[in-house]
Structure 1
């Protein structure tokens, strides 16, 4: 998922059951159909976003008696659908399509901010701790070329591989490699799930790797990775995507609502505005889904049963 994802990353594993777990499969905005009284939530293609949406759907339906539908969508399509009213909410935005945010929030005013999710996202380049322990200087970008031979793969054309997730994620990595003059090549696994599968294989074999990665992410509790220091982020250093030569910023993740839904959506809209949880809570549900193989519905129900004191605060006040 900001400049990732800032999000808006093998084939059989890529979905990790998303299509089955969500109540609708990936669809273009034009195929969603007309809005009705169902609360429709767009779900970007990473498991943290799936965790948000699954818990929101569970509480909406079980506690507020609403109907909710989840639709997996890449960020650019989701923003268009949000503006048109074909979806009502995005619960985890990383600022990856800033031009659409400006167009729909500031200019057309068809989308409104729904508040902080409560989770701060961070994107960067990471290596496994066992590799950093053996070569401490690899954790600074200026030294990455020294290890290009160890990082190269059959897909990286003789250069060091920078493992990426989904091609739909908005990243600065191509620009960073070019502008920092690094002997690296981005190689896309195809999805977050496929990237995780590849990382686990590298760790099992104790092989070195360099990957685009982020927090929060449930895998961080299982795989110890160390961030590579990139040139310090300063305000505006990523303003021109072609000239980026700095690190990714920390990003408080945001919710957005269709403006009409925000006004007329009643208790459901108020609930989504109040929805706010911690990195640890999101990671727990995400791990149950992606790590333990639970369905998103079962994971959401389990979390809700064990965390009543948290979600009760999200309910509209009578």
Structure 2
């Protein structure tokens, strides 16, 4: 999550999460029914909860309003493009910007087509808890971070301040930023979004300071208020050379992508996914139910669908 940057691993991790049956989706194309009488749709779902919220609602409506069977496959960001191009999944509902993949598959091979905007703008940044920012307002300027390195040191950061990241598989600019901005910090990976959230919630419970890579939209802001640290302003192209990057992350309108054949022959399912568009507030509402109330994606989707008919009915028209 970047240019985006959230998760990238080597190889496709194709774990079937939901649906009506187990299937090895690394070997099987989606039987979305090239004929108009479509039967099954396969959606890529990334590991972060916002992506799970998108897919949960799309799956619920496809199944309960349009009569499809929906399989979901967990595939990390860049491998998901390969799977989409090959027809092993039919749609990605939240992409944070991968220009190399867009050029390869959308422009050159034409095996993937844009599916329109999700309606949500994503942003990655560095954050401190708001209670610490109120005590030390100057910490919200990167130029003052070295002043607080001692306060932000942990056992894992090797005598330097800790910059907490999520999964090592997430593509971030943080190591380059720390080096290029000459900051006395060590990037420490929590291992996953869930592990990172656990650490931040524990810090917040104890009212300890922390500095973390984080992103919006994200439900955790509702539970742990955080304030962004201002990095050098983002300018187009400032992150083109990832080794030399010394600027903030951009604000990215999140996009959907469809397999070309599915977009053409996927019938009502493809038309619905192209129209699927909601707000940051909508996504956070569902995400909070999944992550905080511990509802399944389908339980959360049903609650949201029951209360927002005026929004989703437009996607079916």
Q: Same fold (TM over 0.5)?
A: yes
1:76 is matched with 78
**Distance between the aligned counterparts of 2:169 and 2:61, measured in 1?**
30
**Distance between the aligned counterparts of 1:35 and 1:125, measured in 2?**
39
Give runs of aligned pairs for residues 226-237 of structure 1, distance below 5 A: 226-237=227-238
2:29 is matched with 34
Alpha-carbon distance, 1:94 to partner: 0.5
Give runs of aligned pairs for residues 229-268 of structure 1, distance below 5 A: 229-268=230-269
Alpha-carbon distance, 1:266 to partner: 0.7
Give runs of aligned pairs for residues 74-223 of structure 1, distance below 5 A: 74-95=76-97, 97-223=98-224
**Distance between the aligned counterparts of 2:191 and 2:165, measured in 1?**
8
Alpha-carbon distance, 1:241 to partner: 1.0
Alpha-carbon distance, 1:76 to partner: 1.2
Alpha-carbon distance, 1:178 to partner: 1.0
- From the two aligned structures, give the one with the greater helix fraction: 1
**Distance between the aligned counterparts of 1:24 and 1:287, measured in 2?**
25
TM-score under structure 1 normalisation? 0.92
Tell me: CA distance 1:170–1:143, structure 2 relative to 1, closer, same or farther (3 Å): same
Give runs of aligned pairs for residues 51-70 of structure 1, distance below 5 A: 51-70=53-72
List runs of 5+ in structure 1 lacking aligned partners.
10-18
1:303 aligns with 2:304: yes
Any conservation in 2 of the 1:232–1:246 contact (CA below 8 Å)?
Answer: yes
Tell me: CA distance 1:24–1:212, structure 2 relative to 1, closer, same or farther (3 Å): farther
Counting matched residue pairs gives 304
Q: Please give the root-mean-square deviation of Cα atoms over the aligned residues, in Å.
A: 1.9
**Distance between the aligned counterparts of 1:189 and 1:39, measured in 2?**
34
TM-score under structure 2 normalisation? 0.92
Alpha-carbon distance, 1:77 to partner: 1.1
1:314 is matched with 315
Any conservation in 2 of the 1:109–1:259 contact (CA below 8 Å)?
Answer: yes
Moved over 3 A (4+): 19-29
